[in-house]
Amino acid sequence: MKHIPNLDGRSRVYAVFGDPIAQVQTPHLINPIFAAAGANLYAVPFHVTAEHFDGAWNAFSAMSNLAGIGVTVPHKVAACARCATLTATAKAVGAVNAVQRGADGRMHGALFDGQGFVDGLGEAKSRLRDARVLMVGAGGAGRAIAFALAAEGVGQLDIIDPMGSSLVFTLEMFNAVRGRECARAADVSGGWDYDVVINASPIGIKGSAQFPMPEASLHADLLVADIASLTAQTPLLRAARAAGATTSDGNDMLSAQIKLIAGFAVGLPAGTPLGQ
């Protein structure tokens, strides 16, 4: 049996709430980052149902050795409502995926999907400024990415999403952050003239839906990012790479985001990564 070598009375816990919880990757990704930084801090998953969320939140937030709470499905909105403060992204989107417990017991919420996406692009993120962007998907991750794209100064954002309410919410949020009307529901009747293409939906991993942009429209000058691609390559990424486009997958976003979550968990200001 393997033992945690440095677990002692001074150790702090970063709880991860979810339902289900078995698929959550945060603990095994973030604990090596804590260890490398010399932090006496351990992420532990907890199966918390929606029915028992309030009770679990109250119990854990009362513990002074709690560093924070990682939040996954279905608790991102409920946790947002319980936080004393929120980052700008979390406030705009109305959801959190990381919570930091202050020394005074107050809980501070953040959402790192968007910054994780942008940071995960590496040097390619310089291509976002003034770019014409097509994004498919306006759910929770898509909204956070849209917020980050606005902060990066993209020139135009066209969105495709079958949920009208999600689409309208994301368009209005983006335009408010950008300060001008440059986001719209995509109208591709005139073609697929974009600089950046983003899949922020489960297309390619779940269901039978196909990505709406034809493979023939992909070319070498594009930046194509598909956050659905984690353990398997999606048809979109396969075609984009065959066309010679610059690509980014979900692992790029996840790797960048987990460092941001780790920094927040150890008490650093939101948006400060822990580790290289």
Edge-first strand order for the sheet with 156-160 is 183-185, 156-160, 132-136, 196-199, 223-226, 246-249
Active site residue 76: yes
Q: Which residues pair with 224 in a beta bridge?
A: 197, 247
| CA–CA gap between residue 138 and residue 113 (Å, rounded) | 13
Q: What is the DSSP string of 14-45?
A: EEEEESS-TT--HHHHHHHHHHHTT--EEEEE
- In this structure, which amino acid lies at residue 42? Y
| CA–CA gap between residue 60 and residue 4 (Å, rounded) | 21
Cβ contact 223:246 at 8 Å:
yes
| CA–CA gap between residue 86 and residue 200 (Å, rounded) | 23
Q: Which residues pair with 135 in a beta bridge?
A: 159, 198
Indicate if the alpha-carbon torsion angle 37, 40, 46, 50 is positive or negative. negative
Q: Which tokens go with 136?
A: 């498919």
Beta-carbon contacts of 16 under 8 Å, excluding residues fewer than 6 positions away, are 24, 26, 27, 43, 44, 45, 46, 69, 70, 71, 72
Q: Which of 76, 91, 125, 259 is catalytic?
A: 76
SS3 call for 63 = coil
What residues are labeled active site?
76
